[in-house]
């Protein structure tokens, strides 16, 4: 498993720094898959389940030139049941020297299951909040893919972490539980001065920097974060960063986007990061305020390709715009609301991917957005199966969880199709509602939570939509047959096959574009609900061509457009009268022609009546409005429209 995964990651790394949409996506996915790796193999530690974490203060000493950490971690925790001991996750090679509570030293043990078990002096009753401080040190074990990394860039030392929910225990005592967000944290990072001219390292962590205290030999930087955060989104780094910032006006409550970059990358970064403000403004406009606007946003460069969305400070391997957009999007979708299980990973990754698409739409325009959607669809339809939502078995496979085709691309296009189905106003309102729902904001959500919020917000039953596109597999393959019996109308028959047997029919609004002989265009949306569905549409020009899904709004592939050859020489000799009519319609045909059937469709394309071998039909009981007649004869088919009054 580990060997094959490593091979898989190595293959991806070849394309890491390309600007191409898909390859950039690989860069994102690579880092995120890496961060998840240890999560997959983790067994939730039931021994940490008897308390609710409220607060951590991390006081850490690191020297970027030495792979070692010394720390005091103070934790506030509320007992869920009466407790006589408290357990934290901490790698067994990290040496705990003491545990203190109100001036008293507590007894503790460490074991080979990476547990630190502390005996409490008295029973801590259910509902009671208490705290203690753990002092420890050690050289965090490298997993080979890195959770605490000491290395150099351009000859200069750096320490960085890639926040891993179940790798955090490698470098600090914590509770590695995805569903117990820590209400707030303070991080104090102490680093040595690194040369004789007394230059000091720049330290980075989550939240707002409060202070830098410098003495003769070292510097302590204090960061404060006052939003709920899971352990895997806490990160630190320190090196000889250059620091510069951009201000986000934020309607009169400005906050900073702070960039921590390597000196050797400064020129490139300064050219690349200003767009972060435009992307921030776009997301604020489309959704809501930046969730952490009372603190900051930022980027910190680190030694890994791609990015990782640590809350308030994404760690970045490079500064391409798509990566900036993707990691910023996670601050809402992933950090403010975290996916409730790995089966729901699209709530993080599909959303972040779609938001990076919205950046193409809004900053570059429709042509680029169309290309972006085409590339998503090409990726999705390269294989016939695959669902967005994971099975239980899928969640043990890191390459499936972070599958670019399904969790990222198909998740993103399902959101886009939801937008097309609901319309822009209802779609963006539903996402705003989702982000601000109290049970989920700064907490967790599952797919069924998202669906019920969207249904309540839009007033639509979306069961069939999400069954088809999210829970089941594959995509439709369309055949569209059209003909224009006369100027003024077009007749269309739409059918589909499915690429995968899990879906019997994909209900979808199907966009088409009619192109006239003089370059006229008319966009239509066909509400496709059944096979061999007929549509009769009004068009004021001679149609030369029909384009299927011209803006790539629909997940589909291998579609066929057929110009029906239904006109025949007697077409003009067939007369339907009277028109308008309120009861009887007669069809007059030449002697050589026999009527085989008359089918009448309403404006929704629904068949309302069919009659065989007759030239007279009653429309008396039909609703008023336009009716479309499909008249099949022994010489061919003609279409006529009749106004029922
Ligand atoms: Zn992501």
For the chain, give every domain's residue range.
46-240, 476-563, 571-644
**Centre of ligand 1 from the C-alpha of residue 563, in Å:** 44
**Centre of ligand 1 from the C-alpha of residue 309, in Å:** 7
**Centre of ligand 1 from the C-alpha of residue 228, in Å:** 19
**Centre of ligand 1 from the C-alpha of residue 30, in Å:** 9
Residue 12 has pLDDT above 90, yes or no: no
**Centre of ligand 1 from the C-alpha of residue 265, in Å:** 23
**Centre of ligand 1 from the C-alpha of residue 197, in Å:** 41
Residue 78 has pLDDT above 60, yes or no: yes
Residue 13 has pLDDT above 60, yes or no: no
91 pLDDT tier (thresholds 50, 70, 90): very high
636 pLDDT tier (thresholds 50, 70, 90): confident
- Report the relative pairing of strands 104-105 and 51-62 from DSSP bridges: unpaired
**Centre of ligand 1 from the C-alpha of residue 327, in Å:** 6
**Centre of ligand 1 from the C-alpha of residue 402, in Å:** 9
The secondary structure of residue 391, as a DSSP letter, is P
Specify whether the CB–CB gap between 201 and 219 falls below 8 A. Answer: yes
Q: Quick one: how far is CA 544 from the chain centroid?
A: 39
**Centre of ligand 1 from the C-alpha of residue 566, in Å:** 51
pLDDT, one tens digit per residue, over 520-573 is 999 999 999 999 899 999 998 989 999 999 999 999 999 999 887 655 566 677
Residue 400, both tokens: 């499936």
427 pLDDT tier (thresholds 50, 70, 90): very high
| Residues 34, 384: Cα–Cα separation, whole Å | 27
Per-residue pLDDT, 476: 95
Strand partners, 297: 257
Q: Which fold has domain 46-240?
A: Immunoglobulin-like (2.60.40)
Least confident of 30-44, 130-144, 367-381, 616-630: 30-44
Percentage of the chain exceeding pLDDT 70: 89
Distance in angstroms between the alpha carbons of the first and the last residue of the chain: 71
41 pLDDT tier (thresholds 50, 70, 90): very low
**Centre of ligand 1 from the C-alpha of residue 330, in Å:** 7
pLDDT, one tens digit per residue, over 248-258 is 999 899 999 99
| Residues 627, 600: Cα–Cα separation, whole Å | 6
Assign domain 476-563 one CATH number from 2.60.40.1840, 3.90.1150.10, 2.60.40.3080, 1.10.10.10: 2.60.40.1840
CATH tag, 571-644: 2.60.40.3080
Task: Using DSSP, state whether 594 is helix, strand or coil.
Answer: coil
Which is more confidently placed, 430 or 591? 430
Per-residue pLDDT, 628: 81
**Centre of ligand 1 from the C-alpha of residue 126, in Å:** 38
pLDDT, one tens digit per residue, over 564-616 is 765 556 667 788 999 999 999 999 888 888 888 898 887 666 788 888 888 89
Region 307-314: mean pLDDT is 93
| Contacts (Cβ under 8 Å, ≥6 apart) of 640 | 485, 574, 576, 579, 628, 629, 631
Q: Do 46-240 and 571-644 share a fold? A: yes
Residue 155 has pLDDT above 70, yes or no: yes
**Centre of ligand 1 from the C-alpha of residue 352, in Å:** 6
Residue 420 has pLDDT above 50, yes or no: yes
Q: Provide φ and ψ at 117, rounded to 5°.
A: -110, 120
**Centre of ligand 1 from the C-alpha of residue 463, in Å:** 27
**Centre of ligand 1 from the C-alpha of residue 514, in Å:** 38
Chain mean pLDDT for the chain: 88
Per-residue pLDDT, 33: 59
pLDDT, one tens digit per residue, over 456-513 is 999 999 999 999 999 999 999 999 999 887 778 899 999 999 999 999 999 999 999 9
Per-residue pLDDT, 374: 96
Give the best-scoring range by mean pLDDT among 41-55, 124-138, 305-319: 124-138
Residue 135 has pLDDT above 60, yes or no: yes
**Centre of ligand 1 from the C-alpha of residue 277, in Å:** 19
| Cα–Cα distances in angstroms (integers) from residue 292 to residues 64, 280, 329, 345, 429, in the given order | 28, 12, 12, 22, 21
**Centre of ligand 1 from the C-alpha of residue 326, in Å:** 6
Region 162-186: mean pLDDT is 82
**Centre of ligand 1 from the C-alpha of residue 400, in Å:** 14
- Report the relative pairing of strands 443-445 and 337-339 from DSSP bridges: parallel
């Amino acid at each position: 498993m580990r060997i094959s995964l490593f091979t898989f990651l190595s293959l991806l790394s070849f394309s890491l720094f390309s600007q191409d949409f898909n390859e950039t996506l690989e860069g994102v996915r690579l880092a995120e898959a890496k961060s998840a790796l240890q999560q997959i193999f983790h067994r939730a530690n039931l021994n940490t389940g008897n308390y609710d974490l409220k607060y951590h203060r991390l006081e850490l000493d690191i020297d970027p030139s030495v792979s070692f950490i010394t720390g005091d971690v103070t934790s506030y925790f509320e007992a869920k049941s009466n407790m006589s001991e408290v357990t934290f996750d901490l790698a067994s090679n990290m040496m705990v020297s003491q545990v203190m509570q109100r001036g008293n030293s507590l007894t503790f043990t460490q074991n080979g299951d990476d547990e630190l078990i502390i005996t409490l002096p008295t029973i801590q009753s259910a509902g009671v909040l208490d705290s203690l401080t753990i002092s420890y040190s050690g050289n965090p074990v490298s997993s080979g893919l890195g959770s605490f990394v000491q290395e150099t860039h351009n000859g200069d030392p750096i320490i960085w972490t890639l926040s891993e929910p179940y790798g955090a225990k490698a470098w600090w005592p914590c509770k590695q539980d995805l569903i117990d967000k820590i209400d707030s944290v303070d991080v104090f990072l102490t680093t040595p001065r690194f040369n004789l001219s007394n230059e000091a390292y720049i330290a980075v962590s989550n939240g707002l920097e409060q202070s830098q205290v410098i003495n003769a030999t070292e510097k302590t930087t204090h960061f404060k974060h006052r939003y709920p955060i899971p352990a895997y989104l806490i990160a630190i780094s320190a090196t000889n960063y250059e620091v510069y910032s951009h201000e986000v006006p934020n309607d009169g409550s400005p906050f900073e986007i702070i960039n921590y970059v390597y000196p050797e990358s400064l020129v490139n970064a300064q050219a690349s990061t200003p767009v972060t403000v435009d992307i921030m403004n776009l997301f604020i406009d489309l959704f809501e305020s930046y969730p952490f606007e009372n603190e900051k946003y930022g980027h910190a460069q680190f030694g890994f390709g791609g990015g990782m969305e640590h809350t308030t400070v994404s760690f970045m391997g490079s500064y391409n715009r798509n990566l900036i957009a993707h990691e910023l999007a996670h601050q809402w979708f992933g950090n403010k609301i975290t996916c409730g299980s790995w089966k729901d990973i699209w709530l993080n990754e599909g959303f972040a991917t779609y938001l990076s698409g919205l950046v193409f739409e809004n900053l570059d325009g429709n042509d680029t957005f169309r290309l972006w959607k085409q590339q998503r669809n090409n990726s999705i339809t390269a294989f016939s199966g695959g669902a967005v939502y994971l099975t239980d078995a899928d969640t043990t496979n890191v390459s499936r969880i972070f599958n670019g085709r399904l969790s990222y691309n198909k998740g993103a296009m399902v959101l886009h199709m939801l937008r097309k189905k609901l319309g822009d106003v209802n779609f963006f309102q539903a996402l705003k509602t989702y982000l601000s729902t109290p049970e989920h904001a700064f907490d967790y959500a599952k797919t069924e939570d998202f669906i019920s919020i969207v249904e309540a917000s839009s007033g639509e039953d979306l069961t069939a939509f999400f069954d088809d596109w999210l829970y089941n597999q594959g995509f439709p393959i369309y055949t569209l047959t059209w003909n224009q019996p006369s100027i003024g109308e077009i007749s269309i028959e739409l059918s589909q096959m499915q690429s995968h047997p899990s879906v019997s029919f994909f209900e979808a609004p199907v966009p088409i574009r009619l192109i006239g002989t003089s370059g006229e265009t008319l966009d239509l949306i066909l509400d496709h609900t059944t096979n061999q569905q007929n549509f009769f549409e009004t068009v004021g020009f001679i149609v030369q061509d029909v384009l299927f899904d011209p803006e790539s709004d629909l997940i589909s592939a291998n579609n066929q457009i057929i110009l029906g050859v239904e006109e025949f020489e007697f077409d003009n000799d067939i007369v339907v009268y009277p028109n308008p009519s309120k009861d009887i319609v007669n069809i007059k045909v030449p002697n050589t022609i026999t009527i085989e059937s008359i089918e009448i469709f309403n404006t929704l394309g629904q068949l309302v009546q069919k009659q065989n071998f007759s030239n007279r039909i009653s429309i008396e009981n039909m609703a008023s409005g336009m009716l479309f007649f499909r008249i099949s004869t022994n010489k061919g088919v003609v279409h006529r429209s009749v106004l029922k009054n």
